[in-house]
Chain A
Amino acid sequence: MHGRPRKAPKPEDAAASAAKAEKLRALQSQLLHNHHNQIYTKEALEISAKLLEANPESYTAWNYRKLAVEHNLSHSESDPDTVKSIFSEELRVVENSLKQNFKSYGAWHHRKWVLSKGHSSVDHELQLLDRFQRADSRNFHAWNYRRFIAALKGIPDEEELKYTTKLIETNFSNYSAWHNRSVLLSHLLQNKVKGFFPKEKVLVEEYEFVHQALFTDPDDQSGWFYHLWLLDQTVKPETPLLVSTWPAHGSDIIVSAEGCLDGRALSPFTSFHSDAGTFPLILYFNEAVEGVNSSTVTVKSVFTENKDLVWKPLATMCVQPLSSKHAERQSVEMILWRDVNFHFYDAHVQESSPIAYFDRLSIKKDHEPAASKWHAKTLVNEIALVRQLLSEIDCKIGKLTLARLLMAHDAMVSYMAPHSHKKVHSEEVLQLYSDLMELDPMHSQYYKEAQSLVLLQQVTSNRESLLKHCCHHRVSTSSSVGNSVCLRLNNLSLSRIGCVEQLLWVQMLDLSHNELRSIDGLEAMQLLSFLNLSHNKLSSFTALEPLRLLKLLKVLDISYNEIGAHPVDTRRYLCSSPLSHTVGSDWNFNEFVPDDAKVTNYWEAFAIFRGFNLTQLDIVGNAITDEKFKSFLIKVLPTLKWVDGEELH
């Protein structure tokens, strides 16, 4: 099926092909006949061997041979020579078939089946594997079989590691060997096997090893992927880290409710308005973690008992019905996002301590293990090395690696010294990604997203730059808005959201006029009540799945996006729906959708919006939006007061 040249059929070819076909068909029908009638004579076995040599993919023949072996074994009275010859014959048939097609699943499995019955020597199998390696070093069947033999015969990881060294030294472009090496090393490091501890010593040797590959053939990807793994081993912390929280550790928070204090007099960073009398507590880790509960996390507060707290994970898509309680508001003001409604935050205004508050956003680290100095030093070495390589040759993955190294170095330095740190490399990294977009235009969207993340790092990493993007939202009447500070990140060409751990305090967010296709990460911003996503590139409702975790969201603007304009939905499996078996028994879609509706867009809107407590929604400017669709949405969202600027009655 692969790699056969296309040629016009000639009459003599057709005749030859028909003759071959006849022979093969005869073998196949004989095989099926013998199989169905359980005929396991020598002649019958010979037919199956011929068939498998001609067509190793004829799987029923392999099944037949296994049955024949079992049958003949039970009739051989355990005579060891007979047993041995039965199995040898099977191995011979497999080898012949593999000569025809060394990628035949059926052939390899048959061999494993024979081996697991305890026949053949390790040496013989390894020799066979060596021959296959030389024929095709990337044959994953052979590699899998090698791992099978190693496990079956107890060949130690260290020996197999030496084998990968041998192969790589012969040819650096052997991704399969590098892959196996990383698997073996992971085991050896994890089990702290003698000679492979401490980890730093092993990594230093591996860096030296891979450098040879990178300098010999910088355009071959194999070494670079391995290098990326080494980098990950260097920077990744041993245990999960708590990166940030809201409220910040040791801070004072004032919680106000309707009819309570006048919200505008309070500091926007340390006050929180809540009608329900609750506020969220957010713990942001650097990776998904388990085991967060009241016995592992202690919260000291005036208001509540530790045992009253219920911890919910935000990283998974669990079946969580949204609570259907909604507070009845006396007066709901429509929020306008026009520039005239905002005024910039004056950093000189007397405030309790907004700047000091930002300091508390990062968790203080009390200790600096000696090993982390090694990590920083390693990064510096690698940066120097890659720079040297790039001075000799313009290499795409080299540039990308340099960008990643510089970002990792910045992150590590900022972790170790949070207050004195400046992000020194951001400009160079942004330039590297611009270079990459020109060098490798096919992957330009990947580089653009990386740039968005760097940009957001720049904006959120220090207080001055963050304050520049903070604005007061002018609300005309006294309302229960409370905190009226809006973080405005509009018109920044952002194609990706990041640095959310710095933004857990945000209640009002303007991301309009960017290039966002997804809003992954927003689910951590649990305080978010007002969100503007207009004029972006959201192409489906399913892209809004993260919003389902934002219980306090009241006002949402998704106008002028691309919802309904694309036949392909790339978020289809990243949201809760019947397709992925992630909805509960409360899925009552059929009650809402009109009879003649095209199901496609309606179920997506239903999946996202059901159970929301939105008071204001803007959806104009999307291909999906027509009157019928709007009435459907209004049914699904009973708390709505404003749609596309019009008050509902």
Chain B
Amino acid sequence: MEGQIGDLEVEKHVQYILSVEKRKDNFESVVMEHLRMNGAYWGLTTLDLLGKLDMVDEDEIISWVMECQHESGGFGGNVGHDPHILYTLSAVQVLALFDKLNVLDIDKVSNYIAGLQNEDGSFSGDMWGEIDTRFSYIAICSLSLLQRLDKINVEKAVNYIVSCKNLDGGFGCTPGAESHAGQIFCCVSALALTGSLHHVDKDLLGWWLCERQVKSGALNGRPEKLPDVCYSWWVLSSLIMIDRAHWIDKEKLIKFILDCQDKENGGISDRPDDAVDVFHTYFGVAGLAHLEYPGLKAVDPAYALPVDVVNRIFFSR
């Protein structure tokens, strides 16, 4: 099969995701129990991109999601776990997939998120005060989906993100922190969602990002680090938002992602022949969608949801 692009094992991946949803007793599942809300978002969005969202029990999922909501309005990673902004976004995204944002008390959730903004415009993850530009992205993304962006000080939020811009054009988690593709995705998305991409030096950052593509065609997250399928999302989405995605070789990246599949048992791993998980399965499939792989729905690079889900929120009557 040398030279051919290869096939995406859609059925196998669907079965893999459905099995992960059910499997709760092995060690890997228990270790991830506290972030099941993220897992739900990764699994369900992948199913939607593959056109198979109807294979799950929507009502069961939604009622579990709502069980994870805390009295503060925020969501925990699983039932009984403390609220945190990370799981609040995933909860909102899952509900958006099913077009069920209306089950929320929107003001209650928005107030929880808005309440996490600090004086300097940054966002804490929860009441314990960890600050990270990931949380800036999460706040802006979730409030946008809930159409309550006016609850925060957008100008200060943008200024804080810009203060995390580095001399290589990238962004870190806090001012002065090293550029990292994951943080770059968060900052670029947050700037995109607030019409602030003019703060990004697109040529400088675009070059830093396209240099993440190594000889094998895979993408790494920072210079001189190992490549990983999840960067197919973080790097590629960022490139797309600043219109520099054509600076990488798309064919070679597609081939790398397809090589990371477990073609027998389903799922995608960080590198070929490593163990699969639902996190890398999502980022692999979403990356392929960005690369216009046939048969996949288009995915919005900033909201990280299918484009038709986003259009439904912003353009319907």
Q: Please pick, from A144, A175, A180, the residue contacting B223 in the complex, using a CB distance under 8 A.
A: A175
The reply to whether A4 and B275 form a contact with Cβ atoms under 8 Å apart is: yes
In the complex, per-residue mask of A121-149: 1 if CB is within 8 Å of any chain B CB, else 0: 00000000000000000101001100100
Alpha-carbon separation in the docked complex, A579 to B194 (Å): 8
In the complex, per-residue mask of A512-533: 1 if CB is within 8 Å of any chain B CB, else 0: 0000011000000000000000
A589 within 8 A of B: yes
Main SS at interface, chain A: helix
The reply to whether B26 and A581 form a contact with Cβ atoms under 8 Å apart is: no
Please, which residue of chain A has its CB at the minimum distance from the CB of B253? A442
Chain A stretch 4-29: residues in CB contact (< 8 A) with chain B: 4-7, 14, 17-18, 20-21, 24-25, 28
Alpha-carbon separation in the docked complex, A631 to B306 (Å): 29
The reply to whether A5 and B274 form a contact with Cβ atoms under 8 Å apart is: yes
Please, which residue of chain A has its CB at the minimum distance from the CB of B251? A442
Contact status of A566 and B27, CB under 8 A, knowing A59-B82, A221-B211: no
B88 within 8 A of A: no
A1 within 8 A of B: yes
Stretch at the interface among B55-63, B104-112, B114-122, B165-173: B165-173
Alpha-carbon separation in the docked complex, A566 to B298 (Å): 10
A446 within 8 A of B: yes
The reply to whether B180 and A140 form a contact with Cβ atoms under 8 Å apart is: yes
The reply to whether A3 and B82 form a contact with Cβ atoms under 8 Å apart is: no
Q: Please pick, from A28, A225, A229, A567, the residue contacting B33 in the complex, using a CB distance under 8 A.
A: A28
Chain B stretch 94-141: residues in CB contact (< 8 A) with chain A: 126, 128-130, 132
The reply to whether A568 and B128 form a contact with Cβ atoms under 8 Å apart is: no
Main SS at interface, chain B: loop
The reply to whether B274 and A175 form a contact with Cβ atoms under 8 Å apart is: no
A270 within 8 A of B: no
The reply to whether A179 and B300 form a contact with Cβ atoms under 8 Å apart is: no
The reply to whether B195 and A580 form a contact with Cβ atoms under 8 Å apart is: yes
Chain A stretch 567-605: residues in CB contact (< 8 A) with chain B: 567-568, 570-574, 576-582, 589-590, 599-600, 603
B192 within 8 A of A: yes
Q: Please pick, from A59, A144, A578, the residue contacting B177 in the complex, using a CB distance under 8 A.
A: A144
Given pairs A3-B274, A147-B177, A577-B314, 17 additional interface contacts (CB within 8 A): A1-B279, A4-B274, A14-B26, A21-B26, A35-B82, A55-B31, A105-B130, A109-B128, A143-B178, A175-B178, A179-B168, A220-B224, A443-B211, A517-B243, A567-B298, A570-B246, A580-B193
Give 27 CB contacts A-B under 8 Å.
Answer: A3-B270, A4-B274, A5-B274, A6-B262, A6-B269, A6-B273, A6-B274, A6-B275, A6-B276, A14-B26, A17-B27, A17-B28, A21-B27, A24-B31, A57-B31, A60-B34, A63-B128, A138-B225, A176-B178, A183-B176, A232-B167, A316-B198, A317-B197, A443-B210, A568-B289, A571-B243, A579-B314
Q: Which residues on A are within 8 Å of B, measured CB to CB?
A: 1-7, 14, 17-18, 20-21, 24-25, 28, 32, 35-36, 55, 57-60, 62-63, 66, 105, 109, 112-113, 138, 140, 143-144, 147, 173, 175-176, 179-180, 182-183, 186, 220-222, 225, 228-229, 232, 288, 315-317, 441-443, 445-446, 517-518, 566-568, 570-574, 576-582, 589-590, 599-600, 603
